[in-house]
Every structure is written in structure tokens, then in C-alpha cells.
Amino acid sequence: MSEAFTLLRDEALVCTRCRLANTRTQVVFGVGDPNADLMFVGEAPGFNEDRQGEPFVGAAGQLLTRLLGEIGMAREDVYIANVLKCRPPNNRDPQQDEIDSCKDYLRRQIVLIDPRVVVTLGNFATKLLLRTETGITRLRGKVYPWWRGKQLIATFHPAAALRSADLVTEMQRDFALIRTTLEQPPAPPPSTVPVKEDPEQMSLFA
């Protein structure tokens, strides 16, 4: 793990930027390979994650692990994080000011991990990273060209799929797409000619 990544994690672990610091058991920063090609972004820690300090360890996490296994990958091969690093009380929806306080940690995680493919799980992550109000049902199952040459794939949140076998089938299709996208050759290195920064990209998550 790079020093910069360790410093970022240490900073996040003592964060008091929002009210969730008062009710969390601990900060759930993220887990997995900090050099992964594939990064998942969920919504927020739930009861089990808050207790164990690791994202996606409950029932939704077991489904995520199963879907990964079906495309020949393990949790250790990827990086898993959430939009919010702290559990909202009673698993209520994240509030906008909490997302605004927390999104800088996610942005810096993405910069340092530098994955080729980012997968958003559910509406909150998808709306934040694609900067859209469109719902996940319309956005899922496609590959979006994204920030710094990365590709973004949106899919359902595994907790929603726990309630619907049809959604599990759709997620299996999306995971097959993740696999084929990763199998494509990496994009060529950026041009050495300085390119003017795109203001859209500079205001990532704005």
C-alpha cells in the first residue's frame, strides 16, 4: 500500500466532518487491493459493516462475493468502497450534506487506486459518479467512458437483488459485461502532449 493511501486511510479513520461520526462504531474506509483494475462503489456501511469495519460483509456482501466468483474473481482481486464511510443510523438513506462531506475521500481513493473500471452499485453511487438524476434501471448494463480514461459500469445494489431473483439475473449480465470490459486491452497511455484540463472533469463529483 502506498504511503499516500495509508495517509488517506488514517485521515478518514478519525473523520468528524459530519454528524455520522457521532453514531458510527467505526469508519469503514474500504477493502481489497489498492492497485486493483476494478473498483466497486456501494452506498454506505450497514449494521455488520459498522461492527466489522469492512464494506459488504453482510448478506448483500455475500451476494457481491458470489457474483464476483461467477466471473472468476475474488474480493481480494478488487477494491470495494462506499459513497459514505460511516453508517447512517438505522440504515436510513445518505443525506446530501453527508455525501458532500464524504465524497472527497472517495475521489482521493479513486485517484490513488487508479482502477481501469469503476462499478457503481445502486442509485446513490451511480448518481454521484455519473452526475445524473436518472435512475439505475435505465443506466445499468452499459459501459460509460468516464474520468481520466476510466470506464464506469452501473449495476443494481446487491441488497435490492436480495429481494428479486430477476435482479440477480440482470446483475449476472452486468458482471459478465464487467469481465469482458476488463479483458479488453487497456487504453493507450495518455498523450505526452499537454492537454488542457476539461473543467467538467476537474469538478468531479461536484
d(CA 138, CA 159): 18
Residue 186 burial (10 A CB sphere; 0-12, 13-18, 19+): exposed
Which of residues 55, 88, 94, 115 is near ligand URA by CB under 6 A?
A: 55
* Residue 121 near residue 40, CB atoms below 8 Å: yes
Task: Select from 18, 164, 180, 2 the least CA-distant residue to 103.
Answer: 18
Q: For ligand URA, which residue has the nearest CB?
A: 42
Q: Which three cell numbers stand for residue 200?
A: 467538467
d(CA 187, CA 168): 30
Q: Which of residues 70-109 bind ligand URA (CB under 6 A)?
A: 82
49 is a site residue for ligand URA (CB under 6 A): yes
Q: Closest CB to ligand URA among 44 and 68?
A: 44
> What's the closest the beta carbon of residue 159 comes to ligand URA, in angstroms?
6
Region of 39-47, 129-137, 164-172, 184-192 interacting with ligand URA (CB under 6 A) = 39-47
34 is a site residue for ligand URA (CB under 6 A): no
43 is a site residue for ligand URA (CB under 6 A): yes
- Greatest alpha-carbon span in the chain: 51
Q: Closest CB to ligand URA among 32 and 46?
A: 46
d(CA 66, CA 204): 31
Q: Closest CB to ligand URA among 8 and 28?
A: 28
Q: Closest CB to ligand URA among 52 and 172?
A: 52
**Positions that interact with ligand URA (CB under 6 A):** 42-46, 49, 55-56, 60, 82, 159
